[in-house]
Structure 1
Amino acid sequence: MKPLESLRRRLAQLEEQDLRRVRRTSDSPCIVQPVVDGRPMLAFCSNDYLGLANDPRIARALQEGVDRFGTGSGASHLISGHHRAHARLEERLAAFVADHVPDAQALYFSTGYMANVGVLAGIAALDDRVEVFSEQLNHASLIDGMRLARVPVNVYGHCDVGALDDMLSASAANIKLVVTDSVFSMDGDLAPLPELLALCERHDAWLLVDDAHGFGVLGERGHGALEHFGLRSDHLIYMGTLGKAAGVAGAFVAADASLIDWLVQRARSYVFSTASPPALAHALLASLDIIEGPDGAARRERLQSLVSTLAQGLQLRRWRRLDSSTAIQPVVVGDNAHAMAAAKALYDLGYWVPAIRPPTVPAGTARLRVTLSADHDPADVARLAEAVNRIERHQEDLA
């Protein structure tokens, strides 16, 4: 079979299995009422949890950053692309985790994917006997980072602390690294970080926490999962993304200063990549001010209120809302085709909610992934819940 024929056959198979992904085009900024493919919609699919992606204060800071630093960085950080704005941002991010990671420094990456790949490859380069212990529901960027690191990987069941304890006890590795999301991106629940950290301290292992969906949202000051749980340890390695709740772009890794220095030497996704525009780093400083300030606190409070509004409004019979207290509110439908039909029905009503299918989630657990923003109106959230209830009843009548 010719290559193109094989490719088209595989795409047709994805279509038949209701697994083919498609893109929609937004004609608006990242807001909760965008125009999508020419239609006004209510969006419940963005990770802009605090509603900062279109905040005029951050936009002004970005414009100021362009005026001061131009539009590009010019090279990798280790050549000539490390600008004063990058340095200031890293200092500020290190301060965000200083209460939780002793002698912390931070390293700014262009994306969260690059940060995870970089930190895992960097740690793998430390020793010939590195072993990784990975949570079952970790994000794809962590999984790919482990594959690229080419080190032994042990997968423990979702939030199964006992199984992890057994694995760590049986390991003879010189360097042990436990890797977990803090907020699981498709389930919305929290990892048992205090128990995981206690295990790591007992077994002399590092704990890498991917706080992509917790940074800015969790904790009294928005400092993330470590603040939420009140953790402090030199066994912690923290990754936070800056394109979700922070509303701009990029990510960072924060850890003991010696580990950050090592990543500067060995994290290939950092060493061999052109640095992000310094104007973005300048804009992020404004975002961090908002997150830590009274407006950030008010936005987090509104977000929690909206989570309660949705939970109370959903009256499901066969479908299942997963137990989540975060902005990620999944509704498990089960069958791929049924989830796709539900997402289309919602879209026809003006609600943009994605259907998540395998391989992103396990087979038989296709779902609607509802994400909330502090900018959502409570009445709109209540109407979304009513619409989901009606669509479930309709599918039930057709069954």
Structure 2
Amino acid sequence: MYSSFEQELTKIKEEGRYRPLTVWDSAPGTWMTLNGRKILQMSSNNYLGLTGHPEMKEAARQALERYGAGSGSVRTITGTLDIHDQLEEELAKFKGTPATLVFQSGFTANLGILGSILSDQDLVISDELNHASIIDGIRLTKAKRSIYAHKDLNQLEAILQTSGSYRRKVVVTDGVFSMDGDIAPLPGIVGLAEKYGAIVYVDDAHASGVLGRNGKGSTDHFSLHGRVHIQVGTLSKAVGAVGGYMAGEQVLKDYLIHKARPFLFSTSQPPSVAAACLAAIRILQRSEDLIERLWANATYFRMSLKQMGFDTGSSETPIIPVIIGDPKRTMQFSDRMLQEGIFAQGIVYPTVPMDKGRVRFIVTALHTMEDLQFALDRLQKAGRDFGLI
């Protein structure tokens, strides 16, 4: 058994895709310490810099003193404390939906929801670039699957036109696609779903805290309230803690409480985490300036890269890939960035196609102009050395 693992790892190393875990010496932030050296962090999903926000830290401390380190049980036994209930109530108000249900992570939210709402009588229609948690969630069901080319509404409609025999049709899309940083054409998807009687399911992991008023997500961004049936969000990334959630109708929440296996069989969030998430939702409601700064930084960085001649793909958000292609060359460019004092993760096959390797930069609200210029100066030099510009 172990020899086969070794053989596969050897192949991964030969292709230049092998990477050990990077162990940091400091808390998450714009500049982090790696082996005693200060490094500019440009791979974090901490879009708004909330991981270290003093209000969230204080809320976690108070909850730790009041409740202890853990909840002690799954939600359906003794693991629903008043702090969990309060988080879901305020999160629902923030999202503008009747209810929310919090899961242990965004990944488990997708597994639990898709596994609960889909059966062998149903059809699920998924964008080809949807997140791995959506792909895995669909694989766990017996539903008929159809994949449409990325953001291709004509192909989506062609599938919907022949879907009349299914009990339930569910169109699933990311709100913001994590590898390319582009935004789903949600108004077109909703229009087609309404035309053909389909359910719309949006995973807003990278849109939570980024798109919409105060970071309410892609449904708010496109003013589609009441027309998106299931919204999935994250409490990590821009929200700065950890967890995932469903936002939708109360009947769906009640159904998932009884059906979603990750919810039923996993211990609930530690109270300190739930309290930090609650504090983050309150911060978001008065932090429009943070989101404005995030978008200003992202636009400046992306336009600067394009002017240099880098290929940033279809990026529209703070996720900004530098497309390189070959996996080994991609990882070499990522290594070069680290030598220059910048951490930007190389993303290669199987996360992206073999010829679409990229070094993914993520800009945050806390990056200063000096930080961004530091990165751009070194990117320009490395890009010339690698023949990318």
Fold in common (TM above 0.5)? yes
Answer yes or no: is the 8 Å Cα contact 2:235–2:242 preserved in 1: yes
Give the corresponding residue for 1:228: 221
Structure 1 residues 116-170: Cα deviation after superposition (integer angstroms, max 9, x where no partner): 0000011025xx4111000010000000000012321100000001111110110
Give the corresponding residue for 1:298: 289
Give the corresponding residue for 2:358: 367
Matched, 1:386 2:385: no
Unmatched 5+ stretches in structure 2: none
Give, in whole Å, the separation in 1 of the partners of 2:379 and 2:317.
19
Give the corresponding residue for 1:52: 50
Answer yes or no: is the 8 Å Cα contact 1:62–1:279 preserved in 2: yes
Which stretch shows the higher mean deviation, 40-49 or 301-310?
A: 301-310
Structure 1 counterpart of 2:149, one-letter code? G
Answer yes or no: is the 8 Å Cα contact 2:214–2:291 preserved in 1: no
Give the corresponding residue for 1:138: 130
Matched, 1:107 2:104: no
Give, in whole Å, the separation in 2 of the partners of 1:145 and 1:355.
26
Q: CA deviation at 1:97?
A: 2.1
**CA, structure 1 residues 362+391, in 2 after alignment: closer, same or farther (shift >3 Å)?**
same
Answer yes or no: is the 8 Å Cα contact 1:135–1:179 preserved in 2: yes
Matched, 1:121 2:119: no
Q: CA deviation at 1:37?
A: 3.1
* SS in structure 1 of the partner of residue 324 of structure 2: strand
Equivalent residues in 2 for 1:273-352, closer than 5 Å: 273-293=266-286, 296-315=287-306, 319-352=310-343
Q: So what's the TM-score if we normalise by structure 1?
A: 0.94
Give the corresponding residue for 1:152: 144
Q: CA deviation at 1:282?
A: 1.3
Give, in whole Å, the separation in 2 of the partners of 1:281 and 1:146.
28
Unmatched 5+ stretches in structure 1: none
Structure 1 residues 213-250: Cα deviation after superposition (integer angstroms, max 9, x where no partner): 11111112221111111002355200010111010110
Q: CA deviation at 1:279?
A: 1.8
Structure 1 residues 376-399: Cα deviation after superposition (integer angstroms, max 9, x where no partner): 1112112212212211210129x9
Give, in whole Å, the separation in 1 of the partners of 2:243 and 2:258.
20
Work out the percentage of aligned pairs sharing the same amino acid: 36
Give the corresponding residue for 2:72: 74
Give the corresponding residue for 1:23: 21
Structure 1 residues 323-379: Cα deviation after superposition (integer angstroms, max 9, x where no partner): 323110111011112111111111011100000001111121100100011111112
Give, in whole Å, the separation in 1 of the partners of 2:129 and 2:19.
21
Give the corresponding residue for 1:198: 191
Query: What is the total number of aligned residue pairs between the two structures?
Result: 388
Give the corresponding residue for 1:377: 368
Over the aligned positions, Cα root-mean-square deviation in angstroms equals 1.5
Q: CA deviation at 1:311?
A: 2.1
Give the corresponding residue for 1:89: 87
* SS in structure 1 of the partner of residue 70 of structure 2: coil
**CA, structure 1 residues 267+243, in 2 after alignment: closer, same or farther (shift >3 Å)?**
same
Give, in whole Å, the separation in 1 of the partners of 2:366 and 2:219.
25
* SS in structure 2 of the partner of residue 78 of structure 1: coil
Answer yes or no: is the 8 Å Cα contact 1:309–1:382 preserved in 2: no
Q: So what's the TM-score if we normalise by structure 2?
A: 0.97
Give, in whole Å, the separation in 1 of the partners of 2:214 and 2:22.
35
Which stretch shows the higher mean deviation, 310-319 or 331-340?
A: 310-319
**CA, structure 1 residues 355+333, in 2 after alignment: closer, same or farther (shift >3 Å)?**
same
